[in-house]
Amino acid sequence: MTRLIVDYLRELARGTVAAWDRFWFTAVDPATLSLIRILAGAMLFYTHLVWTRGLDDFLGPNSWLQPEAVRTYLNSISGEQSFAWSYFWLIDSPWQLWTVHFAGLVVFAMLTIGWHSRITSVLAWLITVSYVNRLPGSLFGLDQINGLLSMYLMLGPCGARYSVDRWSATRRLASPAALPVAASVGANIATRLMQLHMCVIYFFAGISKLQGPSWWDGSALWGAVANLEYQSIDLTWLATWPLTVAVMTHVTIAWEVSYCALVWPRLTRPIVIALAIPLHMGIAFGLGMKTFGLVMLIGNAAFISPWVVRRVIEGAGQGGAVDSQSAPPARRERAQTTAAGVAVGASTTTTVRARRPRNGASSTIG
pLDDT per residue as tens digits for the range 137-189? 888 899 999 999 999 999 999 999 999 999 999 987 877 777 899 999 999 99
Beta-bridge partner residues of 184:
28
pLDDT per residue as tens digits for the range 90-126? 998 999 999 999 999 999 999 999 999 999 999 999 9
Q: What is the mean pLDDT of the chain?
A: 86
Average confidence (pLDDT) over 18-39: 97
Find out whether 112 and 41 touch, Cβ atoms under 8 Å.
Answer: yes
pLDDT per residue as tens digits for the range 202-238? 999 999 999 999 999 999 988 888 887 777 788 888 8
Do 160 and 39 fall into the same domain?
Answer: yes
CA atoms within 13 A on the CB side of 57: 6
| DSSP assigned state of 28 | B
- The pLDDT value recorded for residue 10 is 94
Listed range (21-25, 260-264, 354-358) with the worst mean pLDDT? 354-358
Do 63 and 161 fall into the same domain?
Answer: yes
Closest CA to 298 of 24, 113, 37, 29: 37
Residue 71 is part of which domain span?
A: 26-167
The domain total for the chain is 2
Identify the domain boundary among 290, 307, 324.
Answer: 307
| DSSP assigned state of 85 | -
Find out whether 306 and 30 touch, Cβ atoms under 8 Å.
Answer: yes
CA atoms within 13 A on the CB side of 22: 6
User: Does 330 score more than 90 pLDDT?
Assistant: no
Find out whether 306 and 28 touch, Cβ atoms under 8 Å.
Answer: yes
Do 195 and 107 fall into the same domain?
Answer: no
- The pLDDT value recorded for residue 103 is 98
pLDDT band at 333 (very low <50, low <70, confident <90, very high): low
**Secondary structure (3-state) at 40:** helix
Rama region for 288: left / alpha / beta (φ>0; ψ in -120 to 50; rest): left
User: Does 278 score more than 50 pLDDT?
Assistant: yes
| DSSP assigned state of 180 | P
Do 188 and 148 fall into the same domain?
Answer: no
pTM for the model stands at 0.84
Do 161 and 248 fall into the same domain?
Answer: no
Find out whether 134 and 70 touch, Cβ atoms under 8 Å.
Answer: yes
- The pLDDT value recorded for residue 150 is 96
pLDDT per residue as tens digits for the range 50-101? 999 999 999 988 888 888 888 888 888 877 778 888 999 899 899 999 999 9
Find out whether 289 and 280 touch, Cβ atoms under 8 Å.
Answer: no
In a domain, 107, yes or no: yes
- The pLDDT value recorded for residue 363 is 34
Strand residues in the chain grouped as ranges (E): none
Find out whether 231 and 225 touch, Cβ atoms under 8 Å.
Answer: yes
Find out whether 212 and 271 touch, Cβ atoms under 8 Å.
Answer: no
DSSP string, 251-313: HHHHHHHHHHHHTSSTTTHHHHHHHHHHHHHHHHHHSS-HHHHHHHHHHHGGGS-HHHHHHHH
In a domain, 80, yes or no: yes
Do 195 and 160 fall into the same domain?
Answer: no
In a domain, 179, yes or no: no
In a domain, 236, yes or no: yes
Do 72 and 43 fall into the same domain?
Answer: yes
Strand residues in 128-240 grouped as ranges (E): none
Do 204 and 296 fall into the same domain?
Answer: yes
DSSP string, 4-31: HHHHHHHHHHHHHHHHHHHHHH--B-TH
Do 162 and 38 fall into the same domain?
Answer: yes
In a domain, 324, yes or no: no
Identify the domain boundary among 121, 139, 167.
Answer: 167
Do 205 and 251 fall into the same domain?
Answer: yes
**Secondary structure (3-state) at 263:** coil
At residue 109, what is the residue type? A
Q: Rounded to whole angstroms, how far apart are CA atoms 33 and 50? A: 26
Q: Rounded to whole angstroms, how far apart are CA atoms 172 and 168? A: 8
